[in-house]
A and B are shown apart, each in its own frame.
Chain A
Amino acid sequence: MLIPNDQLLQLVRNELYLWRRPLLISFVAINLLGIAISVVWPRTYTSWTTILVEEKNILDPLMQGTAVRSPVSAVDRARHAKEVLFGRRVMQQLAEELGLLRENDSELEKETILNSLKGKTELTNLGRGLLQISHTDPSPERAFRAAERLADIFISASHEQKLIESTNAFNFIDKQVKEYHDKLQNVEQQLKELRASNIDSNAGAGGTDGLARINQLRGQLDQATQELREAETRIQSLTRQLSGEAVNAVTISRTAQYRARLTDLQSQLAGLRLSFHETHPDVVRVRHQIEDLQEAIRSEEVRRQQPASGAPSQDESVVSSPVYQQLRIEQAQTQTRIDTLSARIAEINRQIANERNLSKEAQSGVTAVAEISRDHQVNSAIYQDLLRRRENALVSMNINRERQGLGFSIQEAAYLPLHPSGLRSSHIIMIAALFSVLLPIGFAVTKIYVDGQIRIMGSVAEHLKVPVLGVIPHLWSPSEEQQLKRDAQWGMLLMAGLFFVGVAVMVLRYVQVF
């Protein structure tokens, strides 16, 4: 529901009028409460001191690259300062120095006191390296002392913290150095052992010699294989020759002999026939001899026509043939060569396999050595770096030990506050007065917007589409008017009374009458 401003003002006035009595009571009650609180409200005094944290000091350029100071960026500084200032150690020291802690206080009571001190202490980062420590207390002297002591304790604690920080850093780096030293020693030992165990592989290390050797062996193997094949071919040829051609030669020569004999016998037979009858025993004998020779020639021819069986002939005539003998000798020599070549090939294969194994072993040894060497190099580099860092940390620690790490100086010393600070009586009275005025208005506005009651003619006509004939204002009876006047008089009286009481309390509190 959107209400125009002029109508809203009128509606607010109407609601204030309708609820005038409860609102007047709330107005009076709030103001009275404000006045009462302002009377008992404790005065608080705040004392503060400003500390300058130097951005740089003379050591920076001198120790550049050698010593490292703690980071001092604005945010870090404020946060770090807050951690230090509100730490239990600082607060406890302050409480002890202010005499707030008693020996028989329980831990809970101590905690409460320390928390209370924390609540009263404030740290503000003013920028440009300035930190302001303020302390608020009902007693101005105690506020002053607390602010003064807080600055001292804070500076001292900060230095100590820096020292602890740099010592811790040094110890850490030192520990790391030792660890890397041990590690480096281990790696060196491993390298030594590995190199000792891989001397053979180292001899042919690199793998190139082994490969050349294998290649050479492979060349020999190829040559031997080639020779073996040739020898095998040769022996096959010799074998064929032994089984076929020698036999032929022997057969041909015997056939020729048979044929010469046959010719002799046939001439002898022809001579005998001239002299004797066919049945003469000599003719018959010669004829039978001729038939035998012809039979022998035919059998020789048949033998020659038969294919060579491959097997050496056992025929005495063949074996005793010089060609055969020559072939046999060559065959035996070739067989010997074959055997020799086979043995050489087997040996070369064995050597190749052996060379391969050796190469593998050498390669793995080389890899392991390279790996360990790499580790060694890395560890060595880190170790060297850590050694440098350790020296830097040592110098930083010494700087902090000499309190030269972070420059603190009190820019503005704490002072004894003369006027109270924070929320004062006058503020409370004014806030109460403002609240007592705003509350009824807020109530009226809220009610108008929230309760949804009909107050405006236009809204009914618009939303319900019903003609609104008019809005009848309240018709005052004389008694009501009288009552209203009395209410107004009471209101004026109460407001005037509250005003005077409020002003009086403010003045009296200001001059510290109470």
Chain B
Amino acid sequence: MSKIEKALRKAQRESQSLSLAPAQLLRPNGAGGTPDVPHDGGKAISFGSSATIPLMQQPEVMRPEERALSKVILSDVDESPALKAFRAIRTRIVQRVGTGGSVILVTALQPGGGATFTAVNLGAAIGLDANKTSLLVDCNFRYPSLQRFVSTNSGKGLSDYLSGKCNDVGAIICPTGIERLRIVPAGNQIDPGKEYFTGERMHQLIWNVRERYPDRSVILDCAPLRTADTQILLQLCDHVLIVVPYGRVTESQLRASLKLVDPNKLLGVVINDEPHVPRLDWRVLIKSMISGLFRGKR
């Protein structure tokens, strides 16, 4: 664990134990009220500076087992290959787009291509740096999947905001068990026949989030590239990251898909889910197999 992460965790513990957060900044359900989730419906308060990040209210961090179950990278002594890969990707993105305030659209070429996985872990990788935060917006209304990362939920999400049921941007930003990562879930007002992203409110949301949190990276988790929603969102975002599932897409398919993206916005592609066989201890396996056989006999 890096020193920064240790310091971050310590700061979290202290903020929880000392009730350091001012009462007016805490939301009634304990989920909001963080410095970056004001109650006043979006009065521009300069919480986006790096100095305030350690003071962000962080709910209970996901345990390593939970992270492994949810397939979220965990920074530990034995760096996993996935962790290394996401750190490298994060570094390259930061080198391209700067420290924050940019909207990155993450989309896959195929359904199940790993856009959500990449977006979540990219957010987590950005959050590994104690001075950086990220906001992950679930724009995949057909298969919303970020709800499971939300630790405390107001029950509202992006669809509520876009449909006008909720006007408070702060109310839809939810904390997660992952350090320095906030999520805007898809919400409950999802009407499959409705066009959400063409409205002015999506523009307002993007603008609002970008203005209010200049140091924060906003990541849009989108449906596959060829869907209509993603095509609309491609106009609103600053950068595009395309997730190519390993061994499931041909070069010609990728070439055709790349034509849909503005080359100036294209950050690049990541190849996701390369098979990586973990090192198996055959002796342990054989022992456990034999013991299992004997247990079965008894």
Residues of A within 8 A of B (CB): 13-15, 17-18, 451-455, 457, 459-460, 463-464, 466-479, 481, 484-485, 488-489, 492-493
Whether, in the assembled complex, B192 has its beta carbon less than 8 Å from a beta carbon of chain A, the answer is no
Which 3 residue pairs spanning A and B have beta carbons closest together? Answer: A473-B276, A467-B268, A14-B275
B268 and A469 within 8 A (CB): yes
Also in contact, A463 and B80, with CB within 8 A (given A454-B246, A457-B271): no
B266: shortest Cβ distance to chain A, in Å? Answer: 7
Query: Quick check: B248 and A468 within 8 Å, CB to CB?
Result: no
How distant is A346 from chain B, measured CB to nearest CB, in Å?
Answer: 113
Question: Is the beta-carbon distance between A489 and B289 smaller than 8 angstroms?
Answer: yes
Closest residue of B by beta carbon distance from A490: B289
Nearest chain A CB to B228 CB, angstrom units: 24
- Find chain B residues with CB under 8 A from A464 CB: 251, 254-255, 258
Complex CA distance for A13 and B117, rounded to whole angstroms: 24
The residue that B247 contacts in the complex, of A455, A463, A477, A485, with Cβ under 8 A, is: A455
Q: Does B23 contact A (CB under 8 A)?
A: no
Q: Is B270 a contact of A472 with CB atoms below 8 Å?
A: yes
Taking each of A459, A468, A475, A484, which has the highest tally of chain B beta carbons within 10 Å of its own beta carbon? Answer: A475
Interchain CB contact under 8 A, A469 and B89: yes
- With A455-B246, A488-B285 known as contacts, the answer to whether A472 contacts B85 (CB < 8 A) is yes
Please indicate which of the listed interface residues A468, A469, A472 has the most CB atoms of chain B within 10 Å of its own CB. Answer: A472
CA distance A470 to B270 in the complex (A): 5
Interface string of B179-192 (1 = CB under 8 A from A): 00000000000000
Would B288 and A454 count as touching, CB distance under 8 A?
no
Q: Residues of B contacting A485 with CB < 8 Å?
A: 280, 285, 288
Name the contact of B267 in the complex, choosing from A453, A454, A467, A484 (C-beta under 8 A).
A467
A230 to B270, CA, bound (A): 136
Contact A463 B71 (CB under 8 A): no
In the docked arrangement, what's the CA distance between A469 and B266, Å?
Answer: 11
Known: A14-B275, A468-B269, A471-B270. A477 touches B71 (CB 8 A): yes
Cα of A410 to Cα of B271 in the assembled complex, Å:
74
Question: In angstroms, how far is the closest chain B Cβ from the Cβ of A20?
Answer: 9
Chain A residue with minimal CB distance to B118? A472
Further pairs besides A464-B258, A469-B88, A489-B289: 20, Cβ < 8 Å:
A14-B246, A454-B254, A460-B251, A460-B271, A469-B92, A469-B267, A470-B85, A471-B85, A471-B270, A472-B274, A474-B82, A474-B276, A475-B71, A475-B73, A478-B68, A484-B277, A485-B288, A488-B280, A488-B282, A492-B289
Contact B254–A460 (Cβ < 8 Å): yes
Q: Is the CB of A484 within 8 A of B278?
A: yes
Interface size of B by CB at 8 A reads 50
List residues of B whose CB falls within 8 A of some A CB. 65, 68-69, 71, 73, 80-82, 85-86, 88-89, 92-93, 114, 117-118, 121, 241, 244, 246-252, 254-255, 258, 266-278, 280, 282, 285-286, 288-289, 292
Contact status B286-A492, CB under 8 Å: yes
Minimum CB–CB distance from B263 to chain A (whole Å) comes to 9
User: Which residues of A have CB within 8 Å of B118?
Assistant: 472
Decide if B247 touches A453 in the complex (CB within 8 Å). yes
**How many contacting A-B pairs (Cβ < 8 A)?**
138
Give the distance in Å from the alpha carbon of A484 to the alpha carbon of B275 in the complex: 12
Residue from A457, A459, A467, A470 having most chain B Cβ neighbours under 10 A: A470
- A481 and B44 CA atoms in complex are apart in Å by 47
Q: Are A466 and B269 touching (Cβ within 8 A)?
A: yes
Q: Which of A18, A451, A470, A481 contacts B89 (CB 8 A)?
A: A470
- Which residue of chain A has the shortest Cβ distance to B292 in the bound complex? A489
What is the distance, in angstroms, from B199's C-beta to the closest C-beta of chain A?
32
Q: Are B89 and A472 in contact (CB under 8 A)?
A: yes
Q: A453-B247, A453-B250, A489-B289 are in contact. Are A472 and B65 (CB under 8 A)?
A: no
What chain B residues lie within 8 Å of A463 (beta carbons)? 251
Distance A18 CA – B273 CA, assembled complex (angstroms): 11
A466 CA to B285 CA in the complex, in Å? Answer: 43
Nearest chain B residue, comparing its CB with the CB of A493: B289
Q: Which residues of A have CB within 8 Å of B246?
A: 14, 454-455, 471
Report which residue of B73, B81, B275, B278 has the largest number of chain A beta carbons within 10 angstroms of its beta carbon.
Answer: B275
Min Cβ gap A486→B in Å is 9
Using A460-B271, A472-B114, A475-B71 as known contacts, say yes or no to A454 and B249 having CB atoms under 8 A apart: yes
CA distance A355 to B251 in the complex (A): 107
* Complex contact B276–A460 (CB within 8 A): no
Contact B82 A475 (CB under 8 A): yes
A492 cross-chain contacts in B, Cβ below 8 A: 282, 285-286, 289
Given contacts A454-B251, A474-B275, A477-B69, contact A469 B241 (CB under 8 A): yes
Please state if B278 and A476 are interface contacts (CB–CB under 8 Å).
yes
A478 CA / B74 CA spacing, docked (Å): 14
Q: A14 and B274: CB pair below 8 A?
A: yes
Complex Cα spacing A301 to B258, Å? 151
A459's partner among B251, B273, B285, B292 (CB-CB below 8 A) is B251
A-B contact list, 13 entries, CB within 8 Å:
A13-B275, A14-B275, A452-B251, A453-B249, A453-B250, A466-B268, A468-B271, A469-B88, A473-B274, A474-B273, A475-B71, A475-B121, A478-B65
Which residue of A is nearest B71, CB measured? A475
User: Is A454 in contact with B289, judged by CB distance below 8 angstroms?
Assistant: no
Q: Is the CB of A472 within 8 A of B277?
A: no
